């Protein structure tokens, strides 16, 4: 496949979780993939500055850092800790020279049934964090997760809800993530992608396929591109029609993919990306 | 608890699946529950006419029959079989003296990624079946299922989508099911419930709670009322504000509930219903 085909592809490191950061770096360079999305835990383990140097020396660009968020606690001390942790995540994003911090809002606090209140606490947290992020050159990208995560992980379930929150803030401070895994089922997603693009709020575009049966806990069942129900070419057409021309990040959580040789798994990802999303 | 409290309660038989139809009948009469929702397979096994007599003799009312649907096949022969099966389901509903047949639309055909086309095939099937159902005094009730079932079970994922389909037909022929398990996460549900009520299209109101972690396959993880994230009193307020005053059916698929003594499980359902939905 041609360089041209892979020029927009970013590999989210969780897709080839079996790789250390040096392995990821070497593997991407060998495969002709010039961009990566990172996660905080492995980066912290390797060292933030050390990761930044490793990637810069190899000529790799960091397209996003996952993730901040978890803003829905009712307890003031827990809430203060979450804000502190998000300021640290913003600093890490800046140190890695990425302009995009992905936010997962958090679920319902134990015993609560108040989705509306939880979403308002997300807005309150954004109001505190967005100006700080702006001073570090970092944009906050709200990721709506599939409604099956609404209680325990993310009370923001649709792109419409994410935009309702984001639009309270300047577009260069708060935007959204368009992730096919979370949005593929929603007949309102096309109109909301257009809305997001018109406002300059598509900060990240991520791909994973939807496959069934879902595993227990529904966290690690994302599909390799082409194995499931998502029409990637149509999603790419929608974001591009909305003005998005940024990186296309593949982020798949799948235990079968993690059990394979990393280079082989990445080669398949690249091949499927070209086949289904180019 | 008073009779008055239970006067609106209907027990969907799948909630106490361990009971045979005679056990269900006896158990409901003993517990002061005067209405039941039925499923085709156990009714067919016991005999449709025989079930109708059993329930009528005990003074029990059938509030709904689950289920018809599965309209999304592309293969003409498979599609014809589905329509035949749905005509049989309509006849069974009429024989059981219930006016409501619950429809689950069906998922994507193997290899298809076309949700829009699948939803249009649902509309085509409704156009064939609704007039026949009307001659039998049966209304078709489209049940939107949670988006996590969109690929393998039901391409109708929101109340808005269900109403977009139902509103192509007369309200006394095609309506919707409002099931808390499937809709609780959706911030658009309140407005769509109002829309459904204004059009006289709330044909069934069903309760189950949302609990996590979800089990593998995500089919049997519904929660006993009060164990999860659903605000039942608010849902009841919404459907009643929209003009609905029909039966309130409890339909929980939960293996722990099925493992218990049926009378004990039903007593808990009734207690939780009064506690959380009255």
Contact A151 B217 (CB under 8 A): no
- Please tell me the total number of residues recorded for chain B in this structure: 278
Distance CA A6, CA A2 (A): 7
Query: A148–B214: do the CB atoms touch at under 8 Å?
Result: yes
Domain boundary assignment for chain B: 3-277
Tell me, what's the pLDDT at B5?
A: 84
- Give which of B145, B151, B157 to mutate to test A binding, by max A Cβ within 10 Å: B151
Among B118, B157, B215, B229, the residue to mutate for chain A (most A Cβ within 10 A): B229
Partners of A38 in the β-ladder: A65
Whether B147 and A228 lie within 8 Å, measured CB to CB: no
**Half-sphere exposure for A257 (CA within 13 Å, toward CB):** 25
Give residues with Cβ within 8 angstroms of B263, minimum separation 6: B27, B30, B31
Query: Tell me: the pLDDT tens digits for B12-27?
Result: 999 999 999 999 999 9
From chain A, the residues in CB contact with B180 under 8 A are: none
Residue B257: its pLDDT value, please?
96
User: Mean pLDDT, chain B, as a whole number?
Assistant: 97
Where do the H-state alpha helices sit in chain A? 3-6, 21-31, 40-46, 48-58, 76-95, 115-135, 159-166, 180-183, 189-198, 232-241, 255-258, 262-277
What are the angstrom distances between the C-alpha of B262 and each of A128, A185, B17, B228?
Answer: 52, 37, 8, 22
How far is residue B95's CA from residue B108's CA, in Å, rounded to a whole number? 32
User: Is the CB of residue A76 less than 8 Å away from at least one CB of chain B?
Assistant: no
B277 touches chain A (CB under 8 A): no
Mean pLDDT calculated for residue range B85-99: 98
User: Which residues make Cβ contacts (< 8 Å) with residue A249, sequence separation at least 6?
Assistant: A10, A11, A12, A35, A37, A63, A64, A204, A205, A206, A207
Residue of A nearest to B162 (CA): A187
Return the percentage of chain B with pLDDT > 90, whole number.
Answer: 98
- Given a contact cutoff of 8 angstroms between Cβ atoms, the answer to whether B183 and B147 are in contact is no
End-to-end CA distance of chain A: 11
Partners of B163 in beta bridges: none
Q: Taking residues A233-238, what's their average pLDDT?
A: 98
pLDDT at A4: 66
CB within 8 Å of chain A, chain B residues 218-247? 218, 228-231
Q: What is the pLDDT of residue A35?
A: 98
Strands (E), B90-243: 100-104, 139-142, 174-179, 202-207, 209-210, 222-223
Give the pLDDT confidence of B58-87 residue by residue, as tens digits: 999 999 999 999 999 999 999 999 999 999
Rounded Cα gap, residues A159 and A171, in angstroms: 15
Per-residue pLDDT, A2: 45
User: Is A148's CB within 8 Å of B148's CB?
Assistant: yes
Find the CB nearest A185 among B150, B211, B217: B150
Contact B115 A185 (CB under 8 A): yes
B3-277 CATH choice from 3.20.20.70, 3.20.20.150, 3.10.580.20, 3.40.50.20: 3.20.20.150
CB A118 within 8 A of CB A112: yes
CB contact under 8 A, A146 and B151: no
Residue entry with tokens 């929101």: B158
Question: Residue B4: its pLDDT value, please?
Answer: 67
Q: What b/e readout covers B121-160, taking b as 16+ CB neighbours within 10 angstroms?
A: bbbebbeebbebbbeeebbbbbbbbbbbbbbbbbbbbbbb
Asked if A157 has any chain B CB less than 8 Å from its own CB, the reply is: yes
Q: Which of B218, B219, B230 to mutate to test the interface with A (most CBs of A within 10 A)?
A: B218
CB atoms within 10 A of CB A148: 23
The answer to whether A152 faces chain B, any CB pair under 8 Å, is yes
Interface contact flag, B229 A113, Cβ < 8 Å = yes
């Amino acid at each position: 496949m041609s360089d041209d085909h892979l020029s927009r592809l970013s590999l989210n490191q969780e897709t080839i979780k079996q790789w250390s950061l040096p392995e990821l770096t070497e593997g991407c360079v060998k495969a002709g993939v010039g961009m990566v999305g990172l996660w905080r835990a492995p980066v912290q383990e390797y060292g933030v500055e050390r990761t930044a140097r490793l990637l810069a020396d190899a000529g790799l660009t960091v397209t996003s850092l996952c993730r901040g968020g978890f803003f829905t606690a009712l307890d003031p001390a827990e809430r203060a800790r979450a804000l502190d942790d998000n300021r640290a995540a913003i600093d890490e994003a800046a140190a890695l020279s990425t302009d995009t911090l992905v936010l997962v809002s958090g679920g319902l606090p134990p015993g609560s049934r108040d989705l509306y209140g939880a979403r308002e606490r997300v807005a309150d947290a954004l109001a505190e964090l967005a100006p700080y992020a702006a001073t570090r050159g970092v944009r906050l990208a709200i990721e709506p997760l599939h409604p099956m995560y609404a209680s325990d992980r993310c009370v923001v379930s649709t792109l419409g809800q994410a935009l309702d929150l984001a639009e309270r803030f300047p577009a260069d401070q708060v935007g959204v993530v368009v992730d096919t895994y979370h949005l593929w089922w929603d007949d309102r997603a096309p109109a909301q992608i257009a809305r997001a693009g018109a406002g300059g709020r598509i900060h990240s575009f991520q791909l994973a396929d939807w496959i069934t049966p879902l595993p227990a806990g529904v966290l690690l069942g994302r599909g390799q591109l082409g194995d499931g129900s998502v029409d990637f070419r149509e999603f790419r057409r929608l974001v591009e029609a909305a003005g998005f021309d940024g990186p296309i990040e593949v982020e798949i959580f799948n235990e079968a993919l993690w059990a394979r040789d990393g280079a082989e798994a990445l080669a398949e990802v690249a091949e499927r990306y070209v086949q289904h999303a180019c």
